[in-house]
Chains A and B, each alone.
Chain A
Amino acid sequence: MSLVGAKVLRKEDPRLLSGTGTFVDDLAPPGCAFAQFVTSTEAHAEIVAIDARAALKMPGVLGVWTAADLVDYPDLPGGLPDLERPVLARNTVRFAGEPVAVVVAEDRYVAADAVAAIEVEYRALPVVTTIEDAAAPDAPVLFPHHGSNVATVVPTMDDLERELERSHGRAHLHLVNQRCAAVPIEAMACLADWGADGLTMWATFQAPHHLRNYLATWLDVPQTRCRIIAPDVGGGFGSKIVWYPELFLAPLLSKWTRRPVKFAQTRSEAMTQMAHGRDQVHDIDIGFDRDGTITALRFVISQNLGAYPDPTGLGLAVLTSWMAAGCYRIPKVSTSFRTVVTNTTPVAAYRGAGRPEAAYSIERIIDVVARRTGLDPAEVRRRNFIPPSAFPYETHNEPVVYDSGDFPAALAECLRLLDYDARRAEQARRRDDPTAPLLGIGLSCWLEIAGFGPNGSLEGFGHLASWESAQVRVQPDGSAIVFVGSSPHGQGHETTFAQIASDELGISYDRIEVRHGDTATVLQGVGTMGSRGVPTSGSAVKVASTRVLERAKKIAAHLLEASELDLEVGDDAFNVRGSPGKKVSWGDVAWASFQPLRLPPELAAGSLEERLFQESPNFSYPSGAYGCVVSIDRETGDVTILDMVLVDDCGTVINPLLAEGQVHGGVAQGISQALYEGVVYAPGTGQPITANLLDYLVPSAPDLPGYTAGRITTLCPNNPLGAKGIGESGAVGAPAAVVNAIVDALAPFGVEHVDMPVTPEKVWRILHESSAATGEVR
């Protein structure tokens, strides 16, 4: 029986459910000291003086360090020239929460006392927090030697004004895709131990090999003396592929104090120190014919980078511009973007990274076209879909060629699960009854780009390369170890990759272990991000397993004196087809593989091992159709999600249970962006208003609905598994479905758009102001 496609229970769960998993802060080697940052209380200021005398006198304090102690070390890697981020703020602080100094103490309590005792004197500078303020001609500039707050600009060749003007109708939306915090429940943590044999650092990180590569260079040590281990990682969602200062400082502090040194953020620290996501503003114009056919799209993107451009943060607007047209055939598409720095926490990848922003805006404006043409939103989508026959589909951007999909089928399935026509009928009934809660139905036919990434297309995205690695090694007893270069943070690689290897090798699932996240055991890897785990890493596992099996068959055939072609493998044995009972176990074959005299002449001892770097010729493009039904309380403006239908197309599914789990998690984050979340700064001062979990609303179980999942499958032609990736789908597709449903419910009030998060207050104001304006008494 094939395991690929089966609901196999996870290998990870027994340790995680018994409290015996290993997260970084669980580690406490003998002599371990604790480090904590002194962080800036100002959003923009000159550092006048740092007084650590009182802290240094405290018992248990091992030392205090500032930028002055780091003159021999470069700034953090991957930034833009002129706009690099120092490890500790040097002369100037540029966001509230920026590390200014670091304390190392015997334990976290003493460290916190010492941090509180350090006095930093600042001279305040004017603050900008929004794109608009930062880009204003007279704006205070964060990096005076750079001259302006604009970091990058990619203009358009043609603004399509003529096409838009010539169209039967045109519509414009100004959309704010608000800043969100990733909030993995395990905040950032690392533990460095620099001993006689070099450095070992445990870090909660999505890309340990990249960290090793950059860190060894930064420290100027050979990679052989720099080992990074990502043990169990408590969520990441993109926020753990960022070069945080502690990842570079912890090794130095360990070296200087000759102690293992641990950083473990509090949540309040994490809310300002871990990178945020989204924070784009879009101006989008669309032209359309009388029948709803879209004629032209102009998509202008502004990205708030926060105080220092992060390598992935710089890439967000690129991805948004690539995916601007969604799943529609639009004859003319124009995209442009600019990125700006502001006095806020740096912005980087957050689940979806640039694609949720694109999907949200195109799906919002499609609904506006429906409204203006009087057509059903489902019909406008159908009329503009790229048809299934048009794949591979070349888009407005050369590197972006959609691989496969069936958008009409996904939408049809979504409408079926929603019971769309019945819902529309109910909506009409409710509109006639002023006492009934409002009902709204929203659709989101989304598409994203995943499976990062083919050669050359993503230069500049520091973390992404065109391959992922797998190494399959058969042990002398016929069990197998699979080493993979992508290290998970909840995705269940140990399970899915064992399923793939088990199917290919014919070795039972329980006799396969997957190892990851240790640079000492895995040669090289890229990481887990961008929905690339299964399409890239899983494909590597599949191909490496196939190659090992080919060699094992040679050995088995030799032992059985049979032809390789007659062998079939399964249940941990090689059987000769048509000769029942004539077989040799995987264990015997594996054992023989280490005995040269029992091997066929073309094989050497130990040959049942394969290491492979699997490259993809192109990206993959997961897609789907989501539907949301909301009810709105006319008195309070409170939005309740009655139905959330999720039809995904991720190509081949390895484990439906885990795939659905990924969708649920992403949808939860998408709903939450639509309804609840948003990082807020006080205008003028740049003080973070949402710097803990009291003030930043991460939903718990009663805040979110149940989900109805559906599926269609079109295979990805660009990898041997046919898989497209699933990790980000929910976060890409959900926000538009929810907001479209809300705007649909509010249609009788003349509302065409509401920015996220759609709080009860915003809805109440719309209901209230419109009834006040019409003099309607309710």
Chain B
Amino acid sequence: MSRHVDVVITVNGRRSERRIDARTLLVHYVREHERLTGTHVGCDTSNCGACTLLLDGEAVKSCTVLAVQADGHEVTTIEGVSGPYDGFSAVQEGFRQCHGLQCGYCTPGMVMAATSLLAEHPHPSDDEIRAGLEGNICRCTGYQMIVDSVRWAADHPAP
């Protein structure tokens, strides 16, 4: 029942070439084949956004993308995010400064979604931040401090 295919995916700038089960989800590709476990799984209906990563620079839910669909493309996971704040990007540092995370399970997905949001709208209003994170669920924070975190990042763009 399973068919195998060859894929070449650039993950965090590194070319990765593998033979995989054709039905492998991208999230399982990065977690289980690349062993990059920062990208999480929180649902099976594409609702929670814990699996959010960047595919060619755009935020996608990697639980709804097959790894073969990423063949020939570039993937950035939380492990590939960095910046001038002691190694952290402005978004990561914003989450640290503003207590934008508690258990941290939703956090990589939130950081990726927020990174993509700020790339498109560098100066969002609070409502735009909320709307931009609509596809990501956090059960711990109640969201206000996540909004504050993204605002911090917008106010502190990386030099």
Hey, which bits of chain A sit against chain B, CB under 8 A? 9-10, 12-23, 25-26, 28, 107-109, 113, 183-187, 232-235, 237, 266-268, 489-492, 657-658, 660-662, 664-669, 692-694, 698-702, 704, 706-707, 730
Give the residues in chain A near B144, CB-CB below 8 Å: 664, 704, 706-707
A704–B142 contact, CB under 8 A? yes
Pairs A-B, 6 closest by C-beta atoms: A19-B38, A16-B104, A234-B105, A490-B103, A668-B142, A664-B142
List 10 other contacts, CB 8 Å, given A22-B37, A667-B142: A17-B107, A19-B39, A28-B35, A234-B40, A266-B43, A268-B44, A492-B102, A668-B142, A669-B142, A702-B127
B136–A13 contact, CB under 8 A? no
- Contact among A232, A268, A657, A693 with B103 in the assembled complex (CB-CB below 8 Å): A232
For window 104-142 of B, CB contacts with A under 8 Å fall at: 104-108, 111, 126-127, 129-131, 133-142
In the complex, whether B65 has a CB less than 8 A from a CB of chain A is no
Q: A267 vs B137: C-alpha distance in the bound complex, in angstroms?
A: 13
Question: Considering only CB atoms and an 8 Å cut-off, how many residues of chain B contact the other chain?
Answer: 62
- Contact among A113, A665, A699, A701 with B140 in the assembled complex (CB-CB below 8 Å): A665
**Do most interface residues of chain A lie in helix, strand or loop, or is the interface mixed?**
loop
B42–A664 contact, CB under 8 A? no
Most buried by A among B28, B104, B133: B104
A700–B2 contact, CB under 8 A? no
**Do most interface residues of chain B lie in helix, strand or loop, or is the interface mixed?**
loop
Q: A234 vs B102: C-alpha distance in the bound complex, in angstroms?
A: 9
B142–A18 contact, CB under 8 A? no
Give the residues in chain B near A21, CB-CB below 8 Å: 38, 104
A489–B103 contact, CB under 8 A? yes
In the complex, whether B29 has a CB less than 8 A from a CB of chain A is no
Nearest CB on A from B52, distance (A) = 12
A17/B133 contact (C-beta < 8 A), A267-B45, A661-B141 known: no
Q: A21 vs B79: C-alpha distance in the bound complex, in angstroms?
A: 11
Most buried by A among B81, B129, B138: B138
Give the residues in chain B near A662, CB-CB below 8 Å: 102
Nearest CB on B from A184, distance (A) = 6
29 A-B contacts (beta carbon < 8 Å): A15-B104, A18-B78, A18-B88, A19-B37, A19-B78, A20-B79, A21-B104, A23-B37, A23-B40, A25-B41, A109-B23, A184-B103, A185-B48, A185-B103, A234-B103, A266-B44, A491-B102, A660-B145, A661-B99, A664-B145, A694-B45, A700-B136, A700-B137, A700-B143, A701-B133, A701-B146, A704-B142, A704-B144, A706-B144
A490–B2 contact, CB under 8 A? no
In the complex, whether B50 has a CB less than 8 A from a CB of chain A is yes
Stretch at the interface among B54-62, B67-75, B89-97: B89-97
Look across to chain A and name the residue whose beta carbon is closest to the beta carbon of B106.
A185
- Contact among A12, A491, A664, A700 with B133 in the assembled complex (CB-CB below 8 Å): A700
Look across to chain B and name the residue whose beta carbon is closest to the beta carbon of A695.
B45
Nearest CB on B from A527, distance (A) = 15
Give the residues in chain A near B102, CB-CB below 8 Å: 235, 490-492, 661-662, 665
Nearest CB on B from A105, distance (A) = 12
A232/B21 contact (C-beta < 8 A), A186-B40, A698-B139, A704-B142 known: no
Hey, which bits of chain B sit against chain A, CB under 8 A? 1-2, 21, 23-24, 28, 31-32, 35-45, 47-48, 50, 77-79, 81, 87-88, 92, 95-97, 99, 101-108, 111, 126-127, 129-131, 133-147
Q: A23 vs B145: C-alpha distance in the bound complex, in angstroms?
A: 23
Nearest CB on A from B91, distance (A) = 9
A18–B92 contact, CB under 8 A? yes
A700–B134 contact, CB under 8 A? yes
Q: A594 vs B88: C-alpha distance in the bound complex, in angstroms?
A: 40
Give the residues in chain A near B136, CB-CB below 8 Å: 700-701
Most buried by B among A26, A187, A700: A700
